[in-house]
Amino acid sequence: MTNARQFELRDDVTVELVKASASDADVIWSARVSTQGERSLEYLDADPERSEGLIRFLMRDRHSVPLEHSVFTFYLEAPIFVTRQILKHRISSISEHSGRYSELTGAFYIPSRERKLVQVGKTGDYNFVDGTDEQYVLTLHNLETAYQAAWDSYTNMLNLGISKEVARVCMPVAAYSSMYITVNARSLMNFLSLRKIDERSKYPTHPQREIEMVAEKMENIFAEKMPIVYKYFNEFGRVAP
Amino acid sequence: MTNARQFELRDDVTVELVKASASDADVIWSARVSTQGERSLEYLDADPERSEGLIRFLMRDRHSVPLEHSVFTFYLEAPIFVTRQILKHRISSISEHSGRYSELTGAFYIPSRERKLVQVGKTGDYNFVDGTDEQYVLTLHNLETAYQAAWDSYTNMLNLGISKEVARVCMPVAAYSSMYITVNARSLMNFLSLRKIDERSKYPTHPQREIEMVAEKMENIFAEKMPIVYKYFNEFGRVAP
Amino acid sequence: MTNARQFELRDDVTVELVKASASDADVIWSARVSTQGERSLEYLDADPERSEGLIRFLMRDRHSVPLEHSVFTFYLEAPIFVTRQILKHRISSISEHSGRYSELTGAFYIPSRERKLVQVGKTGDYNFVDGTDEQYVLTLHNLETAYQAAWDSYTNMLNLGISKEVARVCMPVAAYSSMYITVNARSLMNFLSLRKIDERSKYPTHPQREIEMVAEKMENIFAEKMPIVYKYFNEFGRVAP
Amino acid sequence: MTNARQFELRDDVTVELVKASASDADVIWSARVSTQGERSLEYLDADPERSEGLIRFLMRDRHSVPLEHSVFTFYLEAPIFVTRQILKHRISSISEHSGRYSELTGAFYIPSRERKLVQVGKTGDYNFVDGTDEQYVLTLHNLETAYQAAWDSYTNMLNLGISKEVARVCMPVAAYSSMYITVNARSLMNFLSLRKIDERSKYPTHPQREIEMVAEKMENIFAEKMPIVYKYFNEFGRVAP
């Protein structure tokens, strides 16, 4: 019986780099073609540190296309309410697990104790603050009660012979999904600018904490692969070029 | 107390045309510019029926850009599991209700008795058949049990002072969302070719029934606004140009 | 004989509004759906001036999607070197005249006396200044000589029975083309931010004068159709949201 | 004096692979995530030949997103009338040489003797046939005359102190440009389906010969990097999924 399987609670997200064709050097030859034509080919293996000034200029003045030749593919596990938000960024290629084609694994998101629970202020002007221990305990209790009911209904319906695509509609947006995301450096910086709070940002952003957890992990990978671009992304206010 | 509010069960979707700047005539002048340049302006008010042959030619040979100057904006109410699928079509502009910024209304999807519940066959080669009355009744029972638990947990958490964006994570993907979708005729035909089963289709498609309900309503509006294009869309296998 | 036809010299560009489905009001209902769901429908006919504060907020904090539901279609006549630049903005739908399918009309661009001819400084840091009368006269002379040679060769080859698509390769990038461009307000603002010099711009831009002439005419139409959005586009540094 | 520099005549195009992150294996793991979730990670290093049936299925039924995780960057030298056509394919990232920022090299396109010169039939239904030797010789003569006039005017204006961006407007669309193009496998197949004539194509296409020369070279590289995908691209009518 499917019903016997237990569901799992998680308070984290998974982000792994599957592959990347991305480096600071990509920005050099692709920018140089506009002024040097075929001689830009000489920069294919050049040391990008010697051209740091060019990268600084491109990022400062928001020249964008040279940032599009570097591409990353990430593997991601996150709750559906996060993957929905990711889908709204249209300039990427996303292959996602489907609850129509295979059974959901039964992993659900719960906030960790560090996750601020209470919103103070109103739409357009608000902050989040920690909740009390009681609020946290009751939140977990309410979430788990709902998850248990959803999981029971889901497995009951599967056992009754109902199709997966119908049975899964009772599952919460806290259920984990998995996906591959292929995105270029320009689009990735746009994602980071909107989904990660950073005091260096020129424009305010209010991402939900859980998508920010995804953005933080992607940002670490981006910083490692393209350190010079990353440096000036921050220096010039984290505005995607 | 928020808790006192009852939730609602629905088995339908809403699709309304908010506005359209779309006609068969658009296809004429935009196609004619490639061969006639400025003289294409003479066709701005021309009768598209007199140029039916041109539209037929464009649709048959898959000339695509003339189909992009006609634009529709729809208002939609559908369950989240449908709106997630819509988001995967990247070439449209979508403004959606957010459970972060206001309370969810508590409408949940249940299948109507006509909705086939049981899948026969396996991934890549399957059909759907009606379930028994018992399967239908038990499906509704299991869904409502899960919805009730989710709704209770959601309203409990709101009453505890927990933020909307945390409380809503227990809500099922069957919860209704609302959105505006702006899409051009080419992208709309791509959507219809993938999300509506039709025997005239050259390529097989297996949309979930609930997104097909959305596609059917959009198709009716499209057929009314651009009847000649629609005719040849079907005649040539429902392949978006 | 084709050869007898004279070519024409122009120093201007044509931009006409073919149709628009665009208003400040579009921004209101599409933004309100995120916080008000179905009640946003009440704003379909609302007076946008009463919601100016909302538009100001969206433009200031760079909320982008509500700007995508307003769509413009322009008719344009401009030299090929301008239409090439327009093609680099990928988020629009462009139907252009083709020299493969019909004969070119033989209109060529020459700078007006107001067009600054001389560049002072170097790539990345330069200005344009007026040339002398002698420089202007010699520029016109050199351009006309080249145009006459291209036109003679083009018409000679057509008269020889050579295909249009081969004959036209000798034609200069100063030859005029015509096109329809459909673009939403967000993409249009991006175009204006990059292709029109304005002291209110937060980021520097260095468009070629001839594409700026196109941008100026589009900007006038945009300002008329969406005056409140336009006001805050300028107030917040002409950065597309 | 710039004027002393000679211009060059070419009848070919250059296409080089700068880098690729592309393989048949990419299609396997990205397709498997929809049915297997995290277990798709086991296929990262799997032999794609063992999953040929899956690739066949995806290509036959036009499942598209798994083709978007493989990315190619090409270096290209081609006449402007070809690069303009490439720009019309919007789903790629293109960094191109600019005649505003550096002097043009003075390479111009002439047809080789194999290039068919004469069009028989009319728009929408035509063929190309070889011209006579006389037609070929006169075509070269007319082209070279126009190129010489353009080159003389261009270098004259530069010597007069006129800016590069003004002087270059007399240059023909036959002048060579250089660019980097980053494109994923799905978009590349779309390009190949439209820009290369092949008897296996389900839909007719009529590319200009010179862009077909580019497509042929890209196709060879694609076939080498993703041989299984390429096999079924052809088997199922060269329709991009």
Top residue of B163, B168, B181, B205 to mutate, by most chain A CBs within 10 Å, is: B163
Whole-model pTM? 0.96
Contact between A124 and C60 (Cβ < 8 Å): no
Residue C122 has pLDDT above 80, yes or no: no
Residue of B nearest to C31 (CA): B95
Q: What is the share, in percent, of chain C residues with pLDDT greater than 90?
A: 88
Q: What SS3 state is found at B22?
A: coil
Q: What percentage of chain A exceeds 90 in pLDDT?
A: 88
Cα separation, C111 vs C136, in Å, equals: 9
Determine the pLDDT at residue B1: 41
Which residue among D32, D168, D195, D238 is the active-site one?
D195
Percent of chain D clearing pLDDT 90 (strictly above): 88
SS3 for D178-227 is: EEEEEEEHHHHHHHHHHHCCCCCCCCCCCCCHHHHHHHHHHHHHHHHHCH
Residue A233: both structure tokens together: 């992304």
Beta strand pairing status for C93-96 and C107-109?
unpaired
Residue of D nearest to A94 (CA): D65
**Which residues of C are tagged catalytic?**
195
D4 pLDDT tier (thresholds 50, 70, 90) = low
User: Smallest CA–CA separation between A99 and chain D, in Å?
Assistant: 8
At A48-85, the pLDDT tens digits run: 999 999 999 999 999 999 999 999 999 999 999 999 99
List the single residue in A with minimal CA-CA distance to D28.
A95
The chains found to touch A (3+ Cβ pairs under 8 angstroms) are B, C, D
CA nearest to C57, candidates A204, A88, B117, B228 = A204
CA–CA distance, B133 with C22 (Å, rounded to integer): 50
Q: pLDDT at residue A185 above 80?
A: yes
> From the list A84, A131, A142, which residue is nearest B153 (CB)?
A142
Whole-number pLDDT of residue D1: 41
> Residue D28 has which token pair?
């396997």
Q: Are D178 and A32 in contact (CB under 8 A)?
A: no
pLDDT of the residue at D2:
47
Q: What is the mean pLDDT of residues D58-76?
A: 95
Residue-wise pLDDT for B180-225, tens only, equals: 999 999 999 999 999 999 999 999 899 999 999 999 999 999 999 9
| pLDDT surpasses 80 at B68 | yes
Binning pLDDT at 50, 70 and 90, where does residue D6 land?
confident
Residue B57 CA to residue D219 CA, distance in Å, equals 28
Q: Inter-chain contact B156–A150, Cβ cutoff 8 Å?
A: no
Optimal mutation site among C93, C100, C186, interface B, most CBs of chain B within 10 A: C93
**Which residues on chain C are in Cβ contact (under 8 Å) with D179?**
none
Q: Which residues of A touch B128 (CB under 8 A)?
A: 163
Strand partners, C176: C79
Residue numbers in D near C91 (CB within 8 A): 90
Query: What average pLDDT does the structure give for chain C?
Result: 94
The alpha carbon of residue A160 is apart from the nearest alpha carbon of chain C, in Å, by 35
The per-residue DSSP string of chain C comes to -GGGPPPEEE---EEEEEEEE--HHHHHHHHHHHHHGGGGGGGTT--GGGGHHHHHHHHHTT--GGGGS-EEEEEEEEEHHHHHHHHTS-SSEEEE--TTTS----EEE---TTS--EEEEETTEEEEEPPPHHHHHHHHHHHHHHHHHHHHHHHHHHHHT--HHHHGGGSBTTBEEEEEEEEEHHHHHHHHHHHS--TT-SS-----HHHHHHHHHHHHHHHHHSHHHHHHHHHTTS---
Residue C145, exposed/middle/buried by CB under 10 A (0-12, 13-18, 19+)? middle
Minimal Cβ distance to A95: which of D34, D38, D177: D34
Does C169 sit within 8 Å of D109, measured CB to CB?
yes
Tell if the CB–CB gap between C61 and A203 is shorter than 8 Å: yes
* Nearest CB to A62 within list C57, C88, C203: C203
Give the whole-angstrom CA distance, residue D44 versus residue D31: 11
Of D87, B184, B90, which is closest to residue C182 (Cα–Cα)? B184
Who's near C108: CB < 8 A, 6+ residues apart?
C7, C8, C9, C10, C79, C143, C147, C172, C174, C175, C176
Whether B88 and A87 lie within 8 Å, measured CB to CB: yes
C72 CB neighbours in chain B (<8 A) are none
How long a stretch of residues is chain D? Answer: 241
pLDDT tens column, C15-58:
999 999 999 999 999 999 999 999 999 999 889 999 999 999 99
Q: Is residue C186 scored above 50 in pLDDT? A: yes
- Tell me the pLDDT band of B124, cut-offs 50, 70 and 90: low
C-beta atoms of A93 and D68 within 8 A? yes
The answer to whether the CB atoms of D117 and C84 lie below 8 A apart is: no
Q: Which among D28, D95, D168 is the top mutation candidate for probing chain A, defined by the most A β-carbons within 10 Å of its own β-carbon?
A: D95
Mean pLDDT over residues B86-90, rounded? 92
So what's the pLDDT on residue D37?
92
DSSP letters along C119-135, please? EEEETTEEEEEPPPHHH
**pLDDT over threshold 60, residue C1:** no
Cβ separation B61–D123 shorter than 8 A: no
At C3, is the pLDDT very low, low, confident or very high (cuts 50, 70, 90)?
very low
Partner residue facing D21 (CB), from A37, A71, A180: A71
**Cα distance between the two ends of chain D:** 53
Bridge partners for D19 per DSSP: D73
Higher local confidence (pLDDT), D169 or B122: D169
CA of A20 to nearest chain D CA: how many angstroms apart? 8
ipTM of the complex: 0.94
- Report residue D126's pLDDT band, with 50, 70 and 90 as the boundaries: confident
Residue type, B33: V
Per-residue pLDDT tens digits for B146-161: 999 999 999 999 999 9
In order, the DSSP letters of B215-228 are HHHHHHHHHHH-HH
**Any idea what DSSP says for residue D241?**
-
Short-list B77, B61, B71, CA closest to B8: B77
D145 Cα to chain A: minimum distance (Å)? 26
- Chain-centre distance for alpha carbon C81: 12
Report the distance separating Cα D92 and Cα D26, nearest Å.
19
B166: pLDDT strictly greater than 50:
yes
Asked if residue A6 has pLDDT above 90, the reply is no
Check residue D240 and give its pLDDT.
83
List helix spans (H) across A126-208: 133-159, 164-167, 185-195
Could you count the other beta carbons within 10 Å of the beta carbon of residue C133? 9
Residue B46's pLDDT is 87
The residues facing A20 across adjacent strands are A72
Give the residue from chain B lying closest to C98, CA to CA.
Answer: B34
For residue B125, pLDDT over 80 is answered with: no
Q: Which residues of C76-101 are buried (b: 16+ CB within 10 A; e: fewer)?
A: bbbbbbbbbbbbebbebbbbbbbbbb
Average pLDDT over residues A143-161: 97
CA distance, residue D62 to nearest chain B CA (Å)? 8
pLDDT of A33-44, one tens digit each? 999 999 999 999
Q: How far apart are CA C24 and CA D151, in angstroms?
A: 50
User: What pLDDT was estimated at residue B123?
Assistant: 66
Residue C154 reports pLDDT greater than 70 = yes
Q: Which of the residues D119, D144, D145, D153 would you substitute to probe the C interface, choosing the one with the greatest number of C C-beta atoms within 10 Å?
A: D153
Inter-chain contacts counted by CB atoms under 8 A, chains C and D: 148
Residues in C touching D143 (Cβ below 8 Å): 153, 169-170
Helical residues (DSSP H) of chain B, grouped into ranges: 24-36, 52-60, 80-87, 133-159, 164-167, 185-195, 209-225, 227-235
pLDDT of residue A91: 83
Neighbour tally for D49: CB within 10 Å: 11
Contacts of residue D10 in chain C, CB cutoff 8 Å?
Answer: none
Using an 8 Å CB-CB cutoff, list chain C residues near A65. 88
Is the CATH number 3.30.1360.170 carried by domain D7-22+70-235?
Answer: yes
Looking at residues C71-87, what average pLDDT do you find?
A: 97
Which of D33, D197, B122, B60 is CA-nearest to residue A105?
A: D33
The domains of chain A are located at 7-22+70-235
**Is residue A2 pLDDT above 80, yes or no?**
no
pLDDT of residue D3: 47
